[in-house]
Structures are given as structure tokens and as C-alpha cells.
Copies of this chain bind each other. A is one copy, B any other.
Amino acid sequence: MLSDIEIAQQNEMEKIQVIADKCGLTPDDIEQYGHYKAKISFDAIRRLESKPDGKLVLVTAITPTPAGEGKSTTSIGLVQGLQKIGKNAIATLREPSLGPVFGIKGGAAGGGYAQVVPMDDINLHFTGDMHAITAANNLLSAMIDNHIHQGNELQIDLRQLSWTRVLDMNDRALRNVTVALGGKVCGFPREDHFMITVASEIMAILCLAKDLEDLKERFGRIVIGCNLAGEPVYVHQLGCQGAMALLMKDAIKPNLVQTLEHTPAIVHGGPFANIAHGCNSIVATKLGLKLGDIVVTEAGFGADLGAEKFLDIKCRYGDIFPDTIVIVATLRALKMHGGVPKQELSTENVEAVTKGFSNLQKAIENMRYFNVPVLVAINKFATDTDAEIAELTRLCDEFGVPVELNECWEKGGEGGTDMAKKVVELLEGPKPTPKFVYDLEDSLEEKVNKIVKTIYGGDGVIFTDKAKKQIKQLADWGLDRLPVCMAKTQYSLSDNPALLGAPTGFTITVSDIRVANGAGFIVCRTGDVMVMPGLPKRPAALNMDIEADGTIKGLF
């Protein structure tokens, strides 16, 4: 089998106008970025507003192994499969972060014969959205330090700033820094932190904003910390929301690309799935619903995190709701949940599959809670055995959930036509009525409790004293009735990564609470959440190269 970049480079792409034409976009509707990428204009988006919506398919997954279960690959394979059976399908996906490309990951635009292309560009600078976010985020940081330096009229407390700088790079040396050293001309020294760009609230805002105006208003509402009197300080008090929006004027336009089989794909926005909601932009998903009869989108991490937030945050703000949910499962992950150690996941173990099914079952129950029809999609790996696949299929049948194996990674759309047909069947049912885990009027404690009990299967939540104080502060500020964004390990339904399968009898401990007031949610952190990754002993960057003729190596 060829590497992802080799497959991508051998693939003959269509010019992006051809893809645009396929979804009814005129040459004036798009702004090309090279021959194979384009931004879609807001004029086009507004023109299409009156068109009826297509159907929405959400792709999520069981609790994943560290390698991930192939949600992007399955999503891309699914639209390729839908196209193969004659459907007008479109994918709306997250855009990858540049930093991890140079670390372990190497790339994040699907895999094998289910990729979005040009994969090199999508994995590198793409259309510059990440860089725009970095600039807007860091302009705000510079404006804050400058405000303090130039007299600090707002009395900003430099000990209590929650706004941090960002960079789109895996760089552990930037996690904790002191800035403004060097004496009077360099400002007031203080502690600061760099997060990776996708963890910026700017990214979450981009993904939840309706349009440029909404984006600017949300920027204005961002709380950057508090003043010496303990009151919140908003960006609109600093007055730079206009300049920040100006920096984002192109980033807010969705990006059009294609799959290896020339299916249209909108790749736009990609916030973290821990301290943010982990889904591509509302603008992109809603546009997809105007352009395609079936839209396939994905949410980060497992169904307990990405999908819950997709439904409770993104769907609520975007006034959308999925018509079908696809849960990606791998035999490897099931065996892991059945107790098999990482190095033995390639060995046949039917018993472990049976045992590990509990995790998938909980994911199915969770998604069915929302009254949406569910399909289990087995993402086939070369090491899966017939006996294991038969056992998983039997378990699904027994549980009464449709299941379909797919070989999209190896065979592209051809390997996903059976899955596509099943999805089409499920889409023929009645439109689900939107349902959420909690009400907006619930208190913060109630909201988290409902998520823990309904989705995680736990007994309840414990707030540390620090978290309780923070809740009190948010209540005092009148900012405590927003949706909740849980920042929790993706490796367990609980907040303990060692608890596999479908644990019960546990509680969740919330140790830190921050308002992302511009994005419009409250982040509840359980345990340490890594917001700035580091590079490994041997970074992927060392394998990367570009030859004089443009041939790229080491992106995978």
C-alpha cells in the first residue's frame, strides 16, 4: 500500500471550478486559492439561504485508542460511497492544525483512498485560516499588554489574565513563559502561556458565528480576565474587535476542496474537542445543507465528547439537527475496551471483542437518547479477522442496531457503498425532533450533572473549591447560563483514562471553570488538559522534504 501523500500525489484532481460547478456554485461564487482550493463567498451563502436543506449525517466514534478510529477517513469514504450510488453528497469537515503535522501525526485529511485533497496544502497553510486566527488572537494579546503599559486605564489585573497567546506549533517551551522582561520600555512583566492555535477561543467563535457581524460581536464579548476590582474585562472595552474581525474577513468564508473521487468537501474550522466543542464551522455545515442532498460531518473524539457538544452546543446555536448518526468502531478499539494491551491489538481475540462491546453499546444508547437513528460503521483494518467481524456484527444485531463494515481506507468509495446504502435507508425515516441533554436555564451544576449521568454513565459531579469559587464569580458576572463544554480525557467515558469499556459507579471532578463568553460556552476542566502539545523524540518533521520538482515526502 502506498503512503497517504503518495496516493494523493498520484491522484488527478479536478480543477476547483469543476467541483464548484458540481454543487451549483458559479465562478463568481468562489475565490480560488491555487487551482484546487477555493473560498466560498458570503454573497453565494446569502443567495442560497432560501433553498431547502439536505439531510445531515453526523459521524462520531466509540471511545478511541490513541491512534484514533478513523472518523475523518470514514466520513470521506462515506461521501465517496454516497456519490458512487448516485447521491449528491458533500462532506463538511474540520481543518487540521499545522503544529501536530510536524509531531507524531504527520497529517489529518483522511487516509488511504479516502482523503480530501490537496492533502499537502490542507495539512500545511491551506487557505490561511489558522494563521488569521493566530494573528487575531495575538493582536488581542499585544493590545492587552500595550493597554497595561500605556497607563492601564481599565485597571486590568495582570495577575488575573485568562487570555493567552497562541502559536500553531507543537512547542512545549511555550507552555509557560514570562513576558515583558527588559525594563520600562518593554512593559510590565507577567506570566503568560501559549496554546496551540486551535485551542484559541477565536477558533471556537469562528465555528459558531453566523456571519462576519456576529463574529465581530462575539469578539467584543470575549472576557480576557478581570480588573483590580474583580469585574470582568471585555474586548469591546479595549476596542479592538473591529481590527480582529478585519483579520478574519477571509477566514470566515468556508473552504471548498474535493475528495480523491472528486466529491465536494467543505473543510472549515477545527477547534479542540476538549476545551472547545470540536466541530467544523456552523457556516460550513449550513452551507453544505444548501449544496448537497446529503451532508456528512464529523465531531472530534468519541461520542461522549464531540457528539454531545455537536448536539448540545453546535446544533443549538446553529439551529440544525442530524438526521442520522454514524458511530465509527474498530475491532482494535473494542479489543482495547475488552482489556487487551496496546501491543496485542493485532492478535485475534473474539472474547475481548464481546467484552469491549459495552463501550460501543453505551455510545449507541447515548446517540439514541437524542432520538436520532444510528448506524455502526466498522472501519476495517488489515489485522481484523473474519471471526472478530462476525462477533461484532452478531452483537449489533442482537442489540438491534444496524451495522455495516467498510473498506474505504483501502478501496475508497467502492469500499463504502454498502455503508452508504444503509445510511440512505436510515435517512428515509421521519425527521428527528431536536432534543438536548440539558436546558439553557439549568444551573451550571445541573447541566454538568445531566451530562455525567446521561452520557458518561457516572453517578454525578464533584466541584473542587476552586471550581466552586469560579462558579460563584461567573454568577456574579451574570455569565453562568451558557451551554457547557466539558474538557475531559477522550480515552474513557469517565475522567480517568484507565477506566475502559463502560464504567459505572464513578464521579467526575471538575477542577477549573472558565467562560468562553465570545464563543458562548463555559469550559469545565476535569484534570489536566493539554493545550500545547510537544514534539516527540523523533518528530515527523525529520522525515519531511520537498524536492526541486515539488515532490513532497513525509506527509502521511
Contact = CB atoms under 8 A, between A and B. Distances in A.
A145 B173 contact: yes
- How big is the A interface, by class? 35 or more
Contacts of A185: 172, 534
Contacts of A174: 179
A205 interface: no
Interface of A: 31-35, 39, 98, 102, 124-125, 128, 131-132, 134-135, 138-139, 141-143, 145-146, 149-151, 167-182, 185-187, 192, 211-213, 216, 239-240, 242-243, 245-247, 249-250, 534-535, 537, 539, 541-542, 544-548, 550, 552-555
A179 B169 CA distance: 15
Contact of A181 (B34, B176, B552): B176
Nearest to A242: B545
A180 B173 contact: yes
Contact of A177 (B102, B178, B537, B553): B178
Given A124-B246, A243-B541, A548-B212, A535 B175 contact: no
A276 B237 CA distance: 38
Contacts of A247: 124-125
Contacts of A240: 539, 541-542, 544
Nearest to A244: B541
Contacts of A150: 537
B542 A243 contact: yes
B172 A176 contact: no
B173 A187 contact: yes
Nearest to A552: B246
Nearest to A250: B125
Contacts of A182: 175-176
3 closest pairs, A vs B, by CB? A242-B545, A131-B131, A176-B182
A31 B31 contact: no
Contacts of A142: 102, 169-171, 173, 535
A216 B535 contact: no
Contacts of A32: 31-34
21 contacts: A31-B34, A34-B250, A125-B128, A125-B135, A141-B173, A142-B169, A145-B172, A146-B534, A173-B180, A173-B186, A175-B186, A178-B178, A216-B546, A240-B541, A242-B554, A243-B554, A246-B544, A246-B545, A246-B552, A249-B550, A249-B552
B39 A249 contact: no
Contacts of A242: 544-546, 553-554
A192 B192 CA distance: 14
A185 B102 CA distance: 19
Given A243-B541, A548-B211, A172 B149 contact: yes
A40 B300 CA distance: 37
B35 A31 contact: yes
Contact of A135 (B169, B176, B246): B169
Contacts of A132: 125
B172 A146 contact: yes
Nearest to A128: B128
Given A173-B187, A181-B178, A548 B213 contact: yes
A541 B143 contact: yes
Contacts of A213: 547-548
Contacts of A546: 212, 216, 242, 245-246, 249
Nearest to A185: B172
A529 to B, nearest CB: 14
A255 to B, nearest CB: 13
B186 A172 contact: yes
Nearest to A544: B243
